[in-house]
Structure 1
Amino acid sequence: MAAPYDVIIIGSGPGGYVAAIRAAQLGLKVAVVEKSHLGGICLNWGCIPTKALLRSAEVYHYFEHASDYGLSAEKIGFDMAAITKRSRGVSAQLNQGVGGLLKKNKVDVIWGSAEITAPGKLTVKASENPPKGALGGGDYEAKNIIVATGARPRALPGIEPDKKQIWTYFEAMVPDSLPKSLLVMGSGAIGIEFASFYRTMGSEVTVVEVLPQILPVEDEEIAAHARKRFEKQGIKILTGAKVTKVVKSANSVTATIETADGKTQEISAEKLISAVGVVGNIEGLGLEKLGVKTDRGCVVIDGIGKTNVPGVWAIGDVAGPPMLAHKAEHEGVIAVEAIAGLHPHLMDKAKIPGCTYCNPQIASVGLTEKKAKEAGYDVRVGKFPFIGNGKAIALGEPEGLVKTIFDKKTGQLLGAHLVGAEVTELIQGFVIAMNLETTEEELINAVFPHPTLSETMHESVLSAYGRAIHI
């Protein structure tokens, strides 16, 4: 039995490694158990490598439209293998960076798969090829165990991914070649990002969404704007529709699509991407034997990450939605600060931003207009289009919209929703404003730099109060 730790974290994704570093900063003896890749899914197979792919698509798009900027570019092309290699290289670099940060903070890394055998005790089955000299299989003790095992793609019965014709995001990230046609099942962030990437690179893309709206968590108006842009790019979109059957052949799939009115049609494509959500990795951890409460494939926690079993905590995707890396990181910090005897602020999930890195980008925080009204608020709504912004026009990005929602009674900012160029960078201004409990008065009186895209944010606030200048 190894010497006991204060904290052992199972999983080294964004939640796990951030929690480990914060625990070390607080003077706790800490270890992370990881079975394959430091940085978890986000860094190796999710957030980071997809952004590398999308950056390649963005640059390719600009090459194709060079004449719009008074430039010329001839013999434009791409090498899919090189694009994939760059994406994997970005992940490898950051993977090494996480290893360096853990080493710097004196966090032990135990290579293997962990099972909690009793409160404060776990057994690790060693990985097949651990780094030389690394800690591996054996029995370990810790006063506190944090489960940070993330999530995996959800599979629908009869449409299970096979890594050949039916892909998850794993296969979609490392294609051998560009498929001529692609069917994307699901229009959340993962589905839409891959639809955007492959369409930009030249694939014929069809998106099927079971709900009436693509990007279901977004404000209806923002989603409608995005849909119009996607369809203009040539993406075919079917909403209120579901894939009921898939037949595979040697080089294609044929899907039967049923619409809300009961009609059916068949769509054939070279590949199908299943992007119908994710499910928490709760199996094989010993949680059921311990009596840890779970719900719909996720571990149930309180506001600081505690489960119903003393000494067992959970953070990140395995602890439920929103399944976002930045939420996992913040949950990790809250949990270890609570373990260390501090009194961290509880997370307000209503103030967690969401971003989708397609073209156009989409970003949001807080309540949609519909949700705000359903919650009983009398609202003021401000809107400002990118066409009224000088920087957007200069960039050649005049299509976009910023929408802000305020409580008419108090001036409280209830939500902000953006679609357009670089809005995933702009959204944090509204996140900070909401966390500071800013009202419309402070936002109206703030001076925004000119010329910047951020002026659209200011104008949207002004619009909510009948004071927009440039529209």
Structure 2
Amino acid sequence: MAETYDLIVVGSGPGGYVAAIRAAQLKMKVALVERENLGGICLNWGCIPTKALLRASEINHLLHTLDAYGFAADNIRFDFAKVVKRSRGVASQLSGGVKFLMKKNKITVYDGDGALAGPGKLKVTKGGKPVADLEAKHILLATGARARTIPGIEADGKLIWTYREAMTPTALPKKLIVIGSGAIGAEFASFYQNMGSEVTLIEVMDRILPVEDAEIGAFVHKAFEKQGMTVLTGAKVQGVRKGADDVTAVVEHGGKVMEIKADRLISAVGIVGNVEGIGLEGTKVVVERTHVVTDPMGRTGEPGIYAIGDLTGPPWLAHKASHEGVICVEAIAGLHPHPMDVLNIPGCTYCRPQVASVGLTEAAARAKGFDVKVGCFPFIGNGKAIAMGEPEGLVKTVFDAKTGELLGAHMVGPEVTELIQGYVIARTLESTEAELMHTVFPHPTVSETMHESVLDAYGRVIHI
């Protein structure tokens, strides 16, 4: 006999498990189906373990620049296996935390694959064998996404890696090729470069970090090259040749074809939604370019079926998925939540230097017809950044010249992934330049660059 619930959530990533908890808070009887690890890709193979790796690379960089701070150390070295082990330990700890939260909120967890099996029905299997038949008026799909594959450059787990193999290597490659310079590609390129690999970053677009403001992308490009990385933009990988323990990429760049040989290659060219095997056939759920189409409340074309997170398309961010999960569940409960404004979702890239942004780029704002005021402030004008020994970076703000609305904010430099939330709050509260100018920023802090950028947009900058 089928187990009956108010809500079944398929997938326990940051969208799924947060939605399940919110539903439990609203007194729903909730089931959560997960085929692998609680916490999904983000917690186990994405956001969290990569930050642990990047922290190690930051420490390695700092140890090799001790002289600038008056220190000296001999025979600096690291145990790469321990670096990787620590990253996996962090992921394991947090996955255990999600398990605790499920128990605390009385959410029933099923280990297996979930697939729709008719109106209000879901079948759970494990290795092809039946686990449970579930029923619910509401079924929320949060199955996430996986790495996109380039034909002819498919990952083999040895020479060509996706993010999974890149996080658990047995040894540090001396030479590495990274294809794709979005957040994932930029972070892995930065990690391996700072750990001592010779990295070549290849991007088919005319600039790296193509979704970011052009000025920010150009800054990171120069920073990467200063660190010793080779960066090729407007470059297309025509194919690869595998050796016994190396790989050669055939690259078209600047009208010429070149060959780049490396120990390993990371493919980071986007993701595709996990729409297969979840029973969408025969339903009214619409799939476009591997992603499920929904309305602002997460409703699909099939009554009682909802979808959130990476499964539903960009931006592919954990915090977007979590917020979508809350909105969807509250709509199911009849609470009439506000739809999410995608332009108020911050984006963060944890390479060195860090990148963070919210809202429209300058180019996008102008393309939409806005008359803009743009402010820029460099970290070299900030006392705290200089004292930290990290004076490279800038903050850029874009305002509507007519209304003073903050259209966008773009940052590159130390800990900007923490600072960006100030601008996110400002946009959510619909603040204008007046409120931001009148806000007192503590001194000495790096956050003062945020204030100065606003002042610069209106001809009132102080420290440059």
Q: TM-score range by the shorter chain?
A: over 0.9
Q: 2:121 aligned with 1:145, yes or no?
A: no
Structure 1 partner of 2:339: 346
Amino acid at match of 2:321: A
2:41 and 2:345 map into 1 onto residues whose CA distance is 20
Structure 2 partner of 1:156: 150
SS in 2 for 1:175: coil
Aligned length: 464
Shift of 1:126: 2.7
In the alignment, which of 389, 393, 407 is matched to residue 386 of structure 2? 393
Structure 1 partner of 2:63: 63
String of CA shifts for 1:342-361, please: whole Å, max 9, x gaps: 10010000111000000000
String of CA shifts for 1:247-267, please: whole Å, max 9, x gaps: 0011111111012x5421110
SS in 2 for 1:199: helix
Structure 1 partner of 2:290: 297
Structure 2 partner of 1:228: 222
SS in 1 for 2:324: helix
**Is this contact kept in 1: 2:177–2:262, CA < 8 A?**
yes
Residues 35-114 of structure 1 aligned to structure 2 (within 5 Å):
35-114=35-114
Residues 3-402 of structure 1 aligned to structure 2 (within 5 Å):
3-126=3-126, 137-259=131-253, 261-402=254-395
SS in 2 for 1:373: helix
2:421 and 2:380 map into 1 onto residues whose CA distance is 22
String of CA shifts for 1:164-212, please: whole Å, max 9, x gaps: 0000000000010000000000000000000000000110000110000
Shift of 1:60: 1.0
Structure 2 partner of 1:460: 453
1:303 and 1:39 map into 2 onto residues whose CA distance is 24
2:330 and 2:207 map into 1 onto residues whose CA distance is 40
2:370 and 2:229 map into 1 onto residues whose CA distance is 36
String of CA shifts for 1:345-397, please: whole Å, max 9, x gaps: 10000111000000000000000000000000000000000000000000000
Amino acid at match of 2:332: I
2:131 and 2:144 map into 1 onto residues whose CA distance is 21
Shift of 1:3: 3.0
Amino acid at match of 2:316: M
String of CA shifts for 1:402-426, please: whole Å, max 9, x gaps: 0000000000000000000000000
**Is this contact kept in 1: 2:241–2:248, CA < 8 A?**
yes
**Is this contact kept in 2: 1:186–1:276, CA < 8 A?**
yes
Higher mean displacement: 250-259 or 86-95: 250-259
Q: Note the residue ranges of structure 1 that are not aligned, 5 or more in a row.
A: 130-135
2:6 and 2:204 map into 1 onto residues whose CA distance is 46
Amino acid at match of 2:117: T
Shift of 1:87: 0.2
**Is this contact kept in 1: 2:3–2:133, CA < 8 A?**
no
SS in 2 for 1:74: coil
SS in 2 for 1:290: coil
Q: What's the TM-score, normalizing by structure 1? A: 0.97
Shift of 1:128: 9.2
Shift of 1:86: 0.3
Identity across the alignment (%)? 65
1:142 and 1:75 map into 2 onto residues whose CA distance is 61
1:304 and 1:262 map into 2 onto residues whose CA distance is 47
Amino acid at match of 2:66: A
Structure 2 partner of 1:132: none
Shift of 1:138: 1.7
1:144 and 1:45 map into 2 onto residues whose CA distance is 29
Amino acid at match of 1:436: L
Shift of 1:109: 0.2
Structure 1 partner of 2:424: 431
1:304 and 1:56 map into 2 onto residues whose CA distance is 40
SS in 2 for 1:287: coil
Q: Note the residue ranges of structure 2 that are not aligned, 5 or more in a row.
A: none
Structure 2 partner of 1:133: none
1:321 and 1:332 map into 2 onto residues whose CA distance is 15
1:289 and 1:152 map into 2 onto residues whose CA distance is 24
Amino acid at match of 1:416: A
CA RMSD of aligned residues (A): 1.0
Provide closer, same or farther for how the CA distance between residues 449 and 128 of structure 1 changes in structure 2, counting only shifts above 3 A: farther
Amino acid at match of 1:317: D
Higher mean displacement: 446-455 or 281-290: 281-290
SS in 2 for 1:27: coil
1:388 and 1:239 map into 2 onto residues whose CA distance is 30
Shift of 1:291: 3.0
Shift of 1:448: 0.3
**Is this contact kept in 2: 1:255–1:268, CA < 8 A?**
yes
1:48 and 1:3 map into 2 onto residues whose CA distance is 34
Higher mean displacement: 67-76 or 101-110: 67-76
String of CA shifts for 1:290-332, please: whole Å, max 9, x gaps: 1310100000000010000000000000011101000000000
SS in 1 for 2:275: coil
SS in 2 for 1:118: coil
**Is this contact kept in 2: 1:36–1:127, CA < 8 A?**
no
1:194 and 1:289 map into 2 onto residues whose CA distance is 40
2:434 and 2:127 map into 1 onto residues whose CA distance is 57
Q: What's the TM-score, normalizing by structure 2? A: 0.99
**Is this contact kept in 1: 2:144–2:311, CA < 8 A?**
yes
Residues 415-430 of structure 1 aligned to structure 2 (within 5 Å):
415-430=408-423
Amino acid at match of 1:417: H
Amino acid at match of 1:264: V
2:412 and 2:65 map into 1 onto residues whose CA distance is 21
